[in-house]
Each structure stands twice: as structure tokens, then as C-alpha cells.
Amino acid sequence: MYYTYVLRNCDGLLYKGLTNNIEKRIGEHNSSTFPSYTKGKGPWECVYKEVFDTRREAEERERFFKTGKGRDFLKRQINKQG
């Protein structure tokens, strides 16, 4: 199982990614030693996720999230959640 996820920090910055272990990955993003774009910009919380059977499906969805239409879709989904 693979997850495509969206994290948000306290400044409202969104980060999109994919993983096969979402709990571990969020912990890594919040770690001060994890070498990523997110380092030092947290804390991060997961505000949206989708589950896929294959890595390829998750990769395609992550690419969509990074397009203009994908960003618009995420805004609507995140706003629905409150």
C-alpha cells in the first residue's frame, strides 16, 4: 500500500509527497536531522492523504497535486475538512 500525502506547517506551507509508511514519514519530516525541503520548517501535520495499491499510482497522483488543477483540488479538499 502506498500513500500520497499533503503536509501543512504553521505558516500554511504545503508539502506533497508519497510513501509506503505514512506515520514513519511524517515523523521523519518533523525530525531536525531529516535531509529534506521540510527540514527546519515544521512542525508538520498531515492534512490530506490518499491510498493506492501501487507506487506508480501514488506517483501519478503526487504529480497531479503539484499542478495548478491539483493545487486547486487540494485547497477545496483541505477547506472541506475545516
Whether this prediction's pTM lies above 0.95 is answered by no
pLDDT the model gives residue 38: 84
pLDDT the model gives residue 41: 84
pLDDT the model gives residue 34: 75
Mark the ranges of the chain whose per-residue pLDDT is less than 50: none
pLDDT the model gives residue 82: 62
Coil, helix or strand for 7?
Answer: strand
Which fold is adopted by the domain 2-81? GIY-YIG endonuclease (3.40.1440)
CA distance 57 to 42: 28
CA distance 20 to 1: 6
